[in-house]
Amino acid sequence: MSILDKLPVEIQLRLLESHPQLAFVNTRWYRLNNKLGRDRCLRMKPEIYYRQTIEESICRYIKTLDHSRLAARLINVPHQYAEDDTFQCYISDSWHIIYSVLFQNPKFFAMDSAGRKMNAAQDTISEFYCPMELVTGRDYPCNLWFTKLSSSGRFGAIRVAVYGQPDGSEPLLQRDLPLSLPDWCESKGTYCIYGGEIKLPSSGNDLKVVHMGVSIVNGDGNFELQAVDTKRYQPQASWLLFKTHLTNIFNVSEKRLSADRMRWDEKQFANDMEGTQEEVEFEFLYRFPKDQSMTHNLSNVKYPSL
């Protein structure tokens, strides 16, 4: 037993908050990390939210991870840190995953989209709208996942805007993306484009629904905005986008969970095919040439850390 194991549980939990890698020291710390995830989740939402509102979609999503993390999940079978946890399995044994997916690095898949004419020059604009529930008092990257349906056509000029209110007040992010980006998005596939930073001020509430709009001017409609992702990829480097030739890489159950939590109709994903289970080869485009030779160690965007 190490010195860390002799510390009071309250101090161990604080250490885990600041040094999450401690979760992988041994099974005891892995279980303690699950307790930390539960405490965090229940701080954000009341028990009834997980028992009734999204219980089915959470369990369905966690089950899809078993092919990769069954052994890890079973470590959290009832033990001393979970004696008061009366939630069913797939929730009680996976709180750290649930916190990651819902609050720490959520993806949002439910999009409203529309196209319209801008002016007499017959320019067109494609618009996408997505509400997102985020934790206040922190910054999130805004990563835009587009699918390009064929090698013909190209993106237009892209503008990203995020507001604290649905009427467009309280701006949190307003950014025009580099005009050179479409030159790197010519082939069919899936593209993740860095859209900027969403900075949420602290408030009396832990969570806030913000409203994101993406507009693309003079695009040819040969693309779809699949998701908005808040995971900080490549924090040590400045990247513009990364891409893969595959067009279906996401977990359908995660899409349904995203729709469920935001009160969107998950039927829009009823006919979606499950994304590939294989590792995906991504190609990064960095802002600075010095970063171009970096090993990015990214092969799967479907699952959080086990």
Q: What is the pLDDT of residues 221-260, one digit of tens each?
A: 678 889 999 999 888 888 999 999 988 888 889 888 998 8
> Which H helix or E strand runs over 217?
strand 207-217
Residue with the bigger pLDDT between 132 and 179: it is: 132
pLDDT at 186: 84
- Asked if residue 134 has pLDDT above 80, the reply is yes
Share of the chain above pLDDT 90, in %: 47
Q: Binning pLDDT at 50, 70 and 90, where does residue 155 land? A: confident
Say what the pLDDT of residue 267 is.
60
| Span of 1-5, 86-90, 299-303 with lowest mean pLDDT | 299-303
Long-range pairs, 170-179, Cβ under 8 A, ≥24: 172/198, 172/199, 172/200, 172/210, 173/142, 173/197, 173/198, 173/199, 178/240
The better pLDDT of the pair 3, 2 is held by 3
Supply the pLDDT for residue 266.
61
Place of tokens 């900027």: 196
265, pLDDT greater than 90: no
Helix, strand or coil, per DSSP, at residue 132: strand
Q: Is the pLDDT of residue 117 over 60?
A: no
**Does residue 80 surpass a pLDDT of 60?**
no
* Residue 156 in this model has a pLDDT that exceeds 80: no
Tens-digit pLDDT profile for residues 187-217? 899 999 999 999 999 987 789 999 999 988 7
pLDDT attached to residue 273: 64
Residue-level pLDDT at 279: 76
Say what the pTM is: 0.88
C-beta atoms surrounding 11 within 10 Å? 10
CB 145 within 8 A of CB 134: no
What is the rounded CA–CA span in Å between residue 195 and residue 216? Answer: 13
Position 123 scores a pLDDT of 67
Q: Are 130 and 275 in contact (CB under 8 A)?
A: no
Range ranked top by mean pLDDT from 6-20, 142-156, 205-219, 281-295: 6-20
Question: Residue 306 pLDDT more than 60?
Answer: no
Residue 222 has a pLDDT of: 76
Helices (H), 3-65: 9-18, 27-44, 47-48, 55-64
| In the chain, domain spans | 4-104, 107-291
